[in-house]
Structure 1
Amino acid sequence: MLIAEELEISLARVRLAHAPPDASRYGNPRAGGAQITGGSNSVQGAWEPLRTAGAMVRVMLIEAAAQEWRVAAAECRAQDGVVIHASSGRHLSYGQLSQRAAGLPLPKQVALKAPEAFKLIGRPLKRLDAAEKVDGRAPGGSHRQHRGGARRPLLGGEAGARRVEDRLGRRAGGEHIDGRHPQEAGGC
């Protein structure tokens, strides 16, 4: 969301990719560089770097369009995945500009959007990763693939995990709570 905000694109255009294990590249500065998150500390730690990255790309795309049209970058603006030259009405998509923009030097400084200009940040929006986390499609170190494609957290080692899950997976009255089909859990 932070990158999308600065890049002037809607969340409908964002595709989520989970970071592979690599704390040197994806570590959380609020967690001593470990690749973990919790209590919104990843947003706190990534607030400025991710917004800056989005703003840098936006500036580079605008510059690429300005060069294409031989106009001043200040005459252009980014809006919903395109760069627009207001006075002529010309527009180019980010995809059309991406190769040219990739060849430009990174801007040394960029202006971040003012809070009053936010379209995404601070709005009640659905999480992009919620469905994957709920239905088990999301990758994760504590999840493992099981029969029928179902995924669930494992507690402990492979052999002991089933016994622990079987004990923890039932509430009083035998209600099944760990996400497995009752027959897989030994019947409820």
Structure 2
Amino acid sequence: MFHGMWILGFVALLPFVLREIPMAALGAILVVTGWRLVSLHHARHLFSHYGVLPAFIWAATLVTVVAADLLTGVLVGIGLSMLELVPHARGLKLKVSEGAEGAQHAINLSGAATFVSLPKLSDTLERAPAGTPVRLDVSGLRTVDHTCSELIKDWFQRRRAAGDSVELLGGRGKTAALAH
């Protein structure tokens, strides 16, 4: 974030200074920065855990950023991610119910957990009180995309690392992806 703010500040406030820097040097900085942002490990993780489509979206975004420009690459990535939602377009709503059930905090998810509902899912998981056992029921989810799966997995690992008890209920395919 700070890197982006520094660049924006220089471009907006000091464009005359940027004109004095050789384009080849600016290009080299962009190449080095871009290379550091590219994680082949992440691409292999997407492919092995979530299949061809998320890895293809990652690769297409990368190629478009390099071949065209950053804005075009980001737009291609967003557009391809939207295509991932087409099979589920009729029911993209994530339904959440939560509350205390005895001594534990119960969270029930149903519908579709996609990147569209990521903020809602994140807020729900973060509201779970610390130090309280949590039961997360994903059995009502029809689909879980890789972004929500990663969010749940990371939240699950943070809760477990903090010593909190977390119980995950759901269909075999969903929990296998979420628990690993």
TM-score by length of 1: 0.17
Determine which structure has the larger helix proportion and give its number. Answer: 2
Higher relative contact order (CA 8 A, sep 6+): 1
TM-score by length of 2: 0.18
Determine which structure has the larger strand proportion and give its number. Answer: 2
Greater C-alpha Rg: 1
